[in-house]
C-alpha cells in the first residue's frame, strides 16, 4: 500500500488501520494448567462403564483405566473414587447401594 493510499479515508484499509491503533494491546496470558488429579485423568479420555457393556468391553475399560492410573500416578486410595466417577446409569446405582456395605 502506498503512503497516499494509507491516508485515503475512502480506502477501507485506512479505517481498519485507524481502529487497530485505538485497540490497546493485551498480552496473551496462557490459561493456567490445572494440576488436579481428576483433570489429569479426564485428559486421558477414560471410557465410562455402562452395565450393558459386554465382558470384552468391560475388560478393555478396566485395562484402560488401570493404564491411566499408572500414567497419571494415581494412589491406591484415590483409584476407587475416580473409578466410580466413571460409572454410568445402572452401574452407578449399583455402586451407590454397595459402597456402604463394603
pLDDT tens, residue order, the chain (102 aa): 566 656 778 887 888 888 888 887 777 666 556 678 888 888 888 888 776 767 788 788 889 899 999 998 999 989 988 888 888 778 778 888 888 877
What is the 3-state secondary structure of the chain?
CCHHHHCCCCCHHHHHHHHHHHCCCCCCCCCCCCCCHHHHHHCCCCCCEECCCCHHHHHHHHHHHHHHHHHHCCCHHHHHHHHHHCEEHHHHHHHHHHCCCC
Give pTM, 2 decimals.
0.54
Residue 90 pLDDT: 80
87 contacts 48 by C-beta, under 8 angstroms: yes
38 contacts 85 by C-beta, under 8 angstroms: yes
Any idea where the domains of the chain sit in the sequence? 37-98
Residue 85 pLDDT: 84
Cα 23 → chain centroid: 32
Which three cell numbers, joined as nine digits, stand for 47?
471410557
Residue 3 pLDDT: 62
Amino acid at each position: 500500500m502506498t503512503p497516499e493510499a494509507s491516508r485515503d479515508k475512502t480506502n477501507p484499509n485506512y479505517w481498519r488501520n485507524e481502529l487497530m491503533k485505538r485497540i490497546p494491546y493485551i498480552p496473551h496470558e496462557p490459561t493456567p494448567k490445572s494440576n488436579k488429579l481428576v483433570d489429569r485423568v479426564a485428559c486421558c479420555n477414560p471410557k465410562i462403564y455402562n452395565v450393558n457393556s459386554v465382558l470384552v468391553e468391560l475388560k478393555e475399560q478396566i485395562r484402560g483405566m488401570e493404564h491411566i492410573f499408572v500414567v497419571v500416578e494415581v494412589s491406591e486410595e484415590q483409584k476407587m473414587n475416580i473409578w466410580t466417577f466413571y460409572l454410568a446409569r445402572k452401574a452407578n446405582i449399583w455402586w451407590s447401594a454397595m459402597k456402604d456395605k463394603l
